[in-house]
Amino acid sequence: MPSTVEQHYQARMDSLSPKDRVGRCVAMLQWTRELLARQIVAEHGPMPAERLKWEVAKRMYDADPAAREIIERKLADVSG
C-alpha cells in the first residue's frame, strides 16, 4: 500500500492538466541539465557553452550508442 505522502503526490499529479504535466516535465528536464552542467564544470573546469551543452548531452544519453556517436561527432567539432 502506498504511503500517505505517495498518495497525496499521486492525487496532485492526477489533478494536473496535460499542459501542466508537460510543463512540469520540461522544468524537471531543465533542472537535470543544469545539475549535470554544474557537475561537469566542477570536474573539468569552465568551458565554452556549446561544448558544455554537448558534454551534458553525452552524460544524459551515454547508454544509447547511436546518440553517443552523434554527440561525439559534435564534440569533435566544438572548440575548448
pLDDT at 80: 63
Enter the pTM of the model. Answer: 0.79
pLDDT of the chain along its 80 residues, tens only?
A: 778 999 998 999 899 999 999 999 999 999 999 999 999 999 999 999 999 999 999 999 999 999 999 999 999 999 76
Q: What is the DSSP string of 10-61?
A: HHHHHTS-HHHHHHHHHHHHHHHHHHHHHHHHHHH----HHHHHHHHHHHHS
